[in-house]
Chains A and B, each alone.
Chain A
Amino acid sequence: MSRTRMLSAIGLVGLSLVIMGCPKKAPEPVPPPPPPPVTVPPPQEVAPPPPVVDETPDPWSGEIEEINRMIVEQGLVGDVYYDFDKFDLRPDAREQLAKNAQFIRQHPNFRFTVEGHCDERGTNEYNITLGQGRSSAAVGYLQSLGVANGMRTISYGEERPVCTQSGESCWQRNRRARFIVTGK
C-alpha cells in the first residue's frame, strides 16, 4: 500500500516537471509536438501499461453452444467409455481424461457438466445410479490431476442414448461420460 503511494507520488512529480517545462516553448509557432509525456517518467511508476489489444478475436469468447461445437469439432474434450455395469476407469478412460484435462485447465473460467450414460441392457432404475457413478469417477480423476474448474455431475442412466441400435458397438458408445460446457 505505502509502496504504491510512494510510486504514485514519484509519478506525480515527474508529470509536474513536464508540465512546468511547457510554457517556455509556447510562443514558438507550430513546434514539433513534444515527445509523449509518458516516456519521460519511468513508465512502471505511473500506471501499468494499457493491456495489449490483440486484434484477433478470442476463439473461445462466443456463446456456450458455439464453444461446445468447437470442442467437438476439434476433438479437444472427448467422451470417456466404460465396461458393462462398471464405473471403474479403464486405461483408455484415464488417457482420455488426461487429454480432456489439458483443455479444461487452459480454460479455468469454463464450468463443465459431466453426464453419466448407460447402455440399454441394465435396468432403468439401476442405470440411473450407475450413470452417476460414471460421471463422479470421471470428475474425481480430473480433480486428482489438479483440474480445479467447476464441475457438475448428472446421470441420465439409459434415458438419453447417443445410439439406439442393439449391439456391442452401439452399447459401448452409450456407456460413457460426456463433457459439455454449461457456464463460464
Chain B
Amino acid sequence: MLSRPRTAFFVTVLACLPITLATQQRAAADPQIPDDSRPDIVLTLSGGQRPLVRLAIPTAGFGGTASTEGATAVREIEGTVRADLDSSRIFVIQGASELAALQLTGDDARDRELYRSLGNEVVLHMDLQEEAGRLVLEGRVVDLESGQTVLGKRYRGEFPLARRIAHTLADEVVQYFSQRPGIALSTIAFVSDRQAPYEEKEIYLMDYDGWNQRPITAHRSLSLAPDWSPDGQLLAYVTYVRGSPGIFVADFQSNGEKRALVTDGTLNSSPSFAPDGRRFVITRSTGGSAEIYAGDLGGGALRQLTYSPGIDTSPAWSPSGREIAFTSSRSGSPQIYVMDSEGANLRRISTVGSYNDGAAWSPDGTRLVYASRRNGTFNIAITDLVTLETSLVTGGRSSDESPAYSPDGRKIAFASSRSYSRRRETQIYVVDVDGANLKQLTSEGNNYSPAWSRRRP
C-alpha cells in the first residue's frame, strides 16, 4: 500500500516539502560557512519517481528506572534515529515538536487517527528499557491506515552502543521503505593532522555522521590516501614510515593489524582495491615517470598498466571490476580517463576544467565523481559515463577535492577549505549528490581524503 504512488498523496508531499527542507537547511548551515561558498541547492525529489513517506516519530517511551544514563540514552537514540531518517531523504518526518499539539489518548486506533489527521502515513514507535544494566530498544513501524505493524525490531546492548543501536534501527526502517540498505552503519576513513598539525598525519575512522572519530595508525609520519576493500575488512593507505612513500594495509579481521604491501621503489601511492578485494591498483615510480600498476594481495609481480612519459595517477577500480579510472597528464593537463583492467581501450572522460583528478566510482558504476578545477578553484563534478554529461555538485570559491560516494550512491564526502577564515584549513564535508544538505563532519586539525566504506568493518 505504501509503495503504490497516489496522486493526491503526492501533491500533499510536494506542498509540505519546502517546510521540511527549510528545517534541514537550517540544521546544515554551519555558522563558519560563508554564504557565498555554499553549493547551490538544486532540489530534485529524492529517488525520482518514489514519493516521500510521511512518518510520525513520537517521543520514545522509557520503561526503566529514571537513571541519568537512561535519560541520556533515550535522547541520544531519538536524535540519532531522527537524523539518520532525515538524512535518507525518503521521509517527511513529524517529530515530538510537530506532534506536540496532539491530545494522544493511549487508545491505539484513536491515536492512529490523530497521527493521520496531520497527514502522516506511518508511525515509528520507539520504546527503551534498561535490563540488567543494558539497553533494550524496541522499534515498531505501524501503518496508520490498517493498524498493522509492518516492521518490528528489538535490540539489546551496552549503553555506550546507544548510537550504534539507533543506526541499526534506522537502517532497517530505510531498507523497509526503500528496498535498499541504509548507510547509517557505514564508516568513513580519512587523514588527520590533529595530533601534530602540519607535521604528522595519521589515518582515522569516523561514523558516517561524523561521530566517534578515532585514529587507527600511530606511525608518527605522513600517512595518506586510505581506500577500503569492498567488504570493509581491509584499509589500504600510503605511509612514509619507512622513508619513501609505500603502501600498507590495515586488517580489521586481525584487530586492525598493519602490514607492508608495496614499499620498494621511489614512490607508491593512491591504492584502490578491485571489487574482489584481492587485487589492487597503485601509482608507482621506480625512478622514472609515475605509472599505474596492478597487484595481488597474495603476492606476485606487479603488472604495469600504463606507459606514458607524463604523470599517470589516482587509479580507481570500477565496481564491475572491468575498468579502471585514473588521472593522466598525457594531453598536457591532468584529466580523467578510463581504461579496461588490462590497460587497453583508453577513453577520456573529463572534457571541462583545466585540471581534473581524484575520480571515484558511483556504487552502480554509472558515474564518476572527481575534483574539477574551474576558474582557479576545485569543485566537485560528476560525469555520467553513458551520456558523458557533467554536472557540478559544489560551487563557490573554496577548494573542494577528494570526493567519495556513499555506499548508496546518494551522498558525497569530500575535503574542502570552505571553512577557513584567517588561516587555511581543510575539513571533511558530506553533501547529497544534488548539492543539498551540506554538513561539516570534522573540525579538529586539518582533515583530508575521505574514503567511505561499503560495509562496517
**Residue pair B424, A129 in contact (C-beta under 8 Å):** no
The interface residues of chain A lying within 8 Å CB-to-CB of B312 are: 129
CB of B265 to closest CB in A, whole Å: 10
A182 CA / B245 CA spacing, docked (Å): 17
User: Of A9-17, A149-157, A172-180, which stretch is located at the interface?
Assistant: A149-157
Q: Which residue of A lies closest to B415 (CB)?
A: A124
Which one of A125, A133, A153, A164 lies within 8 Å of B270 (CB-CB)?
A125
Per-residue 0/1 for A131-153: is the Cβ within 8 Å of any B Cβ (1 yes, 0 no)? Answer: 01100100000000000000011
A153 CA / B287 CA spacing, docked (Å): 8
Is A65 in contact with chain B by the CB < 8 A criterion?
no
Q: Which residue of B lies closest to A128 (CB)?
A: B269
Q: Which residue of A lies closest to B420 (CB)?
A: A166
Q: Which residue of B lies closest to A182 (CB)?
A: B243
A153 CA / B330 CA spacing, docked (Å): 23
Per-residue 0/1 for A93-134: is the Cβ within 8 Å of any B Cβ (1 yes, 0 no)? Answer: 000000000000000000000000000111111101110110
Is B442 in contact with chain A by the CB < 8 A criterion?
no
Given the known A-B contacts A154-B243, A154-B266, A164-B424, are A126 and B222 also in contact in the complex, defined by CB atoms under 8 Å? no
CB of A147 to closest CB in B, whole Å: 16
Q: For A121, A126, A155, A159, which residue has the most chain B Cβ atoms within 10 angstroms?
A: A126
Is B244 in contact with chain A by the CB < 8 A criterion?
yes
The interface residues of chain A lying within 8 Å CB-to-CB of B269 are: 125, 128-129
**Residue pair A133, B311 in contact (C-beta under 8 Å):** yes
**Residue pair B313, A126 in contact (C-beta under 8 Å):** yes
The interface residues of chain B lying within 8 Å CB-to-CB of A66 are: none
**Residue pair B311, A159 in contact (C-beta under 8 Å):** no
Per-residue 0/1 for B353-371: is the Cβ within 8 Å of any A Cβ (1 yes, 0 no)? Answer: 0010110000000000001
A120 CA / B401 CA spacing, docked (Å): 12
A119 CA / B13 CA spacing, docked (Å): 49
A133 CA / B309 CA spacing, docked (Å): 10
CB of A103 to closest CB in B, whole Å: 23
**Residue pair B311, A153 in contact (C-beta under 8 Å):** no
Is B288 in contact with chain A by the CB < 8 A criterion?
yes
**Residue pair A124, B449 in contact (C-beta under 8 Å):** yes
CB of B44 to closest CB in A, whole Å: 28
CB of A88 to closest CB in B, whole Å: 11
Per-residue 0/1 for B421-446: is the Cβ within 8 Å of any A Cβ (1 yes, 0 no)? Answer: 00110000000000000000000000
Per-residue 0/1 for B281-293: is the Cβ within 8 Å of any A Cβ (1 yes, 0 no)? Answer: 0010101111000
Is A92 in contact with chain B by the CB < 8 A criterion?
no
The interface residues of chain A lying within 8 Å CB-to-CB of B198 are: 161, 164
Given the known A-B contacts A85-B334, A154-B244, are A125 and B267 also in contact in the complex, defined by CB atoms under 8 Å? no
Is B333 in contact with chain A by the CB < 8 A criterion?
yes
Given the known A-B contacts A120-B424, A124-B402, A159-B201, are A132 and B290 also in contact in the complex, defined by CB atoms under 8 Å? yes
Which one of A124, A130, A152, A164 lies within 8 Å of B224 (CB-CB)?
A124
A125 CA / B266 CA spacing, docked (Å): 16
The interface residues of chain A lying within 8 Å CB-to-CB of B357 are: 122-123, 125-126
The interface residues of chain B lying within 8 Å CB-to-CB of A132 are: 266-267, 285, 290
Given the known A-B contacts A155-B267, A159-B222, are A123 and B378 also in contact in the complex, defined by CB atoms under 8 Å? yes
CB of A86 to closest CB in B, whole Å: 10
**Residue pair A130, B358 in contact (C-beta under 8 Å):** no
**Residue pair B401, A124 in contact (C-beta under 8 Å):** yes
**Residue pair A130, B314 in contact (C-beta under 8 Å):** no
**Residue pair B283, A129 in contact (C-beta under 8 Å):** yes
Q: How large is the interface on B (under 10, 10 to 19, 20 to 34, 35 or more residues)?
A: 35 or more
Q: For B198, B244, B267, B270, which residue has the most chain A Cβ atoms within 10 angstroms?
A: B267
Q: Which residue of A lies closest to B370 (CB)?
A: A123
CB of A125 to closest CB in B, whole Å: 5
CB of A153 to closest CB in B, whole Å: 5
Q: Which residue of B lies closest to A153 (CB)?
A: B266
Is B126 in contact with chain A by the CB < 8 A criterion?
no
Which one of A85, A120, A129 lies within 8 Å of B267 (CB-CB)?
A129
**Residue pair B424, A166 in contact (C-beta under 8 Å):** yes
A166 CA / B422 CA spacing, docked (Å): 10
CB of B363 to closest CB in A, whole Å: 21
Q: Which residue of A lies closest to B377 (CB)?
A: A121
Q: Which residue of B lies closest to A135 (CB)?
A: B266
A156 CA / B266 CA spacing, docked (Å): 11
Per-residue 0/1 for B182-212: is the Cβ within 8 Å of any A Cβ (1 yes, 0 no)? Answer: 0000000000000000100100000000000
**Residue pair B334, A126 in contact (C-beta under 8 Å):** yes
**Residue pair B424, A126 in contact (C-beta under 8 Å):** no
A-facing residues in B327-346 (Cβ within 8 Å): 327, 333-334
A-facing residues in B267-303 (Cβ within 8 Å): 267, 269-270, 283, 285, 287-290
A149 CA / B314 CA spacing, docked (Å): 32
**Residue pair A123, B401 in contact (C-beta under 8 Å):** yes
Which one of B244, B289, B290, B358 lies within 8 Å of A123 (CB-CB)?
B358
**Residue pair B245, A128 in contact (C-beta under 8 Å):** yes
The interface residues of chain B lying within 8 Å CB-to-CB of A129 are: 267, 269, 283, 285, 290, 311-313
A125 CA / B311 CA spacing, docked (Å): 12
The interface residues of chain B lying within 8 Å CB-to-CB of A85 are: 333-334, 355
The interface residues of chain B lying within 8 Å CB-to-CB of A124 are: 224-225, 401-402, 448-449
6 tightest CB-CB pairs across the interface, nearest first? Answer: A129-B290, A129-B313, A123-B357, A126-B357, A132-B267, A128-B269
* Chain A interface residues (CB < 8 Å from chain B): 85, 120-126, 128-130, 132-133, 136, 152-156, 159-161, 164, 166
Pull 11 A–B residue pairs with CB atoms less than 8 Å apart, ordered by A.
A85-B334, A123-B314, A125-B314, A126-B313, A129-B285, A132-B267, A132-B285, A154-B245, A159-B222, A161-B198, A164-B198
Given contacts A126-B327, A129-B290, 17 further A-B contacts (CB under 8 A): A123-B314, A123-B357, A124-B401, A124-B402, A125-B269, A125-B270, A125-B402, A126-B313, A126-B357, A133-B311, A136-B266, A136-B288, A153-B287, A155-B266, A159-B201, A159-B222, A160-B222
